[in-house]
Structure 1
Amino acid sequence: MASVSVSHLIIFIAALTVSVGVATTLTVNVQSMTVSMDERGESVAKDIETDVTIISDPGSPASIYDADNESVTLLVKNTGDRAIEVGTDPPDVLIDGQYQPAPTVAVVSDPDGATWGEGDVLRVVVSKSLAEGEHRATVRVNSAEDTLRFRVN
């Protein structure tokens, strides 16, 4: 009779050990998923709150393209609901569909500032030689982007 009780006790302890292991694994996985969902939510909120508009005047191509310095200057307004850090992560710029590395950026109201506030204008300068004719410039920040079509004479 005692051997039956010992057998049941051993099975009970084994069942508890397995249950604790399963519970621990599930808890770790649920915590990992929660952190991941929080991070994704913050990323989506950031994308929703970000919006930009190129306000350079396409009717005045000389204000956009400087043939002497072979540079394109774009004025981009932060029309979103949050400030954007541009000191460490400048916007992506494409000229005629080609990525332009390392644009020079400065907030017009605060040239030394690294934060592009709501309603502020950012001057983006890219070194690029352009031929006469139609051109297209795209500025992208996170998932927000705007495109400007202009002509070089």
Structure 2
Amino acid sequence: MASVSVSHLIIFIAALTVSVGVATTLTVNVQSMTASMDERGESVANDIETDVTIISDPGSPASIYDGAGNVTLLVKNTGDRPIDIENDPPDVLIDGRYQPSPTVTIIGDSSTAWGEDDVIRVVVDESLEPGGHRATVRTGSAEATMRFRVN
């Protein structure tokens, strides 16, 4: 009879040990998932708050393309948060081709943050043939596209 109690005690201790291990693993996984969901939620919130609009006048092609290989775009931050353009400059595509190293300056401000309702000037070196063209500016998940003609 004592041997039955001892075997039950050993099985009980083993069951407790396994359940503690499972509980510890689940707790760590739940904490990891919670942290991941918090980060993802913050990222989605930033994406929702970020928006840009190209405000260059496509009806005035000389203000966009100077004929000497420079495309100049005026882009307004129409979102609800400032954008750090020093550490994360906007991506620029001209006719679907990525333009490395655009020159980006904030108009009327010398800070590195592109504030709400502020306008930046983006200049890229790209020779364009006469005809229709498309310029796209991306920052984060925000994207603005403008079509214009070169004479």
Q: Structure 2 length as normaliser, TM-score?
A: 0.96
The share of aligned pairs that are identical, in percent, is: 79
Q: Which residue of structure 2 lines up, in the alignment, with residue 4 of structure 1?
A: 4
Q: Which consecutive aligned stretches of 4+ in structure 1 deviate over 2 angstroms post-superposition?
A: none
User: Does 1:146 find its partner at 2:144?
Assistant: yes
CA distance in 1, matches of 2:57, 2:17: 71
Q: Which residue of structure 1 lines up, in the alignment, with residue 84 of structure 2?
A: 85
Q: Post-superposition shift, 1:84?
A: 0.5
User: Does 1:41 find its partner at 2:41?
Assistant: yes
SS of the aligned residue for 1:8 comes to: helix
Q: Which residue of structure 2 lines up, in the alignment, with residue 23 of structure 1?
A: 23
Aligned length: 151
Checking the alignment, whether the CA contact within 8 Å between 1:106 and 1:113 is kept in structure 2 is: no
Aligned-residue CA RMSD (Å): 1.0
Q: What stretches of structure 2 of length at least 5 have no aligned partner?
A: none
Q: Which residue of structure 2 lines up, in the alignment, with residue 118 of structure 1?
A: 116
Q: What stretches of structure 1 of length at least 5 have no aligned partner?
A: none
Q: Which residue of structure 1 lines up, in the alignment, with residue 58 of structure 2?
A: 58
Q: Post-superposition shift, 1:143?
A: 1.4
Amino acid at match of 1:3: S
Q: Post-superposition shift, 1:108?
A: 0.7
1:95-140, CA deviations, whole angstroms, 9 ceiling, x for partnerless residues?
A: 0111111111111122x42100000001111111101111110111
Q: Structure 1 length as normaliser, TM-score?
A: 0.95
Checking the alignment, whether the CA contact within 8 Å between 1:76 and 1:123 is kept in structure 2 is: yes
Q: Which residue of structure 1 lines up, in the alignment, with residue 133 of structure 2?
A: 135
